Amino acid sequence: MKIAVMGGDGFVGWPTSLHLSDAGHDVHILDNLSRRWIDTELGVQSLTPMDSIQERTRIWHAETGRRIHFNLIDLAKDYELLKKWLAEERPDAIIHFAEQRAAPYSMKSDRHKNYTVNNNVSATHNLLNALVEIGLDAHLVHLGTMGVYGYSTVGAAIPEGYLPVGIETTQGETVSQEILYPANPGSIYHMTKCLDQLLFQFYAKNDGLRITDLHQGIVWGTHTEQTRRHPQLVNRFDYDGDYGTVLNRFLIQAAIGYPLTVHGTGGQTRAFIHIQDSVRCIEIALNNPPARGSRVEIFNQMTETHRVRDLAEMIAKMSGAEIAWLPNPRKEAPENDLIVRNEKFLGLGLKPTTLEGGLLEEIVDVAKKFAYRVDRSRVPAVSAWTKDIARTINRDPEGKKLKSVS
């Protein structure tokens, strides 16, 4: 297939592009490189050294003989350019990663909230609008988030996207209907993903677009089979308080002798998936498109759930690191259970990589190798959900002057 990867320079987009190119697909990346500009804004860099997207694709071609094409297009702002590219290239499938992906970043300030909404919602709508306008019947696969469901405890397993409900009619009878699982976003970022769902529902119903929405858990890990092939193909690795995912952050903290920062009680239960499984799931979704005119296909893209404090205790036991219990910068329930249905991917052949799979040590090795690149002042999570919470933030979990990496 000819596949357009929107946001293909990002944390999941890059290894997905390599994985699909390696499988023989004709891959075209469309990206505005905003994630690199955000690094500059935040004054932090990927733990792993990243070359330019042009150099990355050059190395991939040199190693494999396969070309990944790059196009500098901003989906949220360059509508006419996007429409022209789609009309000329007419890809068979489109993978949509082109959204600001960090909940803490989306809550930093009013400016960051506006940017996240304008970027994410406009990018999604521009893409859907363009597909209809040019009459392109491409399968659209979107990377969403488990966060659209919220993290409250309901005492039942979260289904894959749709909830069967009974509605009482005016005659007193009960009729059955399936609705989108009630949205319960916990941040501006998660809210934009909830809005995405409604856009997808409308365009699938109104215009017959074929759409798959992947509600993904927290991604952990560093390497995929393809990123291991050459040092310059390495994926980005975020450790800072805005973009670093919780398990990867614990592992880098352990590697540099920094306390494992657990916020609140650590009773937050989250869904997780390894980066290698993430790219496999996307390939599986591409190979199983919904029929034209059918409702949006929804998968829960996760493999296991864990409480944050349990992860911290596991890493502390493995590494000897200390745990720092800090005020929670998020406005959320201190404890929650999370039971998630994920039979669709398992039924289509996914063999999950779990935390017991021996890959934690690999991440620690990567963290130690590049520890000299760590700015310890960027490790704490300091973006607060409300102004009242902001007053409670601990900006120095080490409890002393910030020290350089030894």
- Residues with catalytic function: 145, 189, 193
Residue 24 DSSP SS3: coil
Among 161, 201, 153, CA closest to 341: 161
Cα separation of the two ends of the chain? 48
List own/partner pairs for 82-86 with CB under 8 A and 24 or more apart. Answer: 82/30, 82/126, 82/127, 82/130, 83/130, 83/133, 83/134, 85/30, 86/4, 86/130, 86/131, 86/134, 86/136, 86/138
Q: Which helix (H) or strand (E) holds 298?
A: strand 297-301
Query: Rounded to an integer, what distance in angstroms lies between the CA atom of residue 307 and that of residue 377?
Result: 26
Give me Rg for the CA atoms of the chain: 21
Residue 215: φ, ψ to 5°: -85, 95
Both tokens of 214, joined, read 């992947």
Determine the residue type at 184: N
Residue 369: φ, ψ to 5°: -60, -40
Among 33, 32, 214, CA closest to 140: 214
Determine the residue type at 111: R
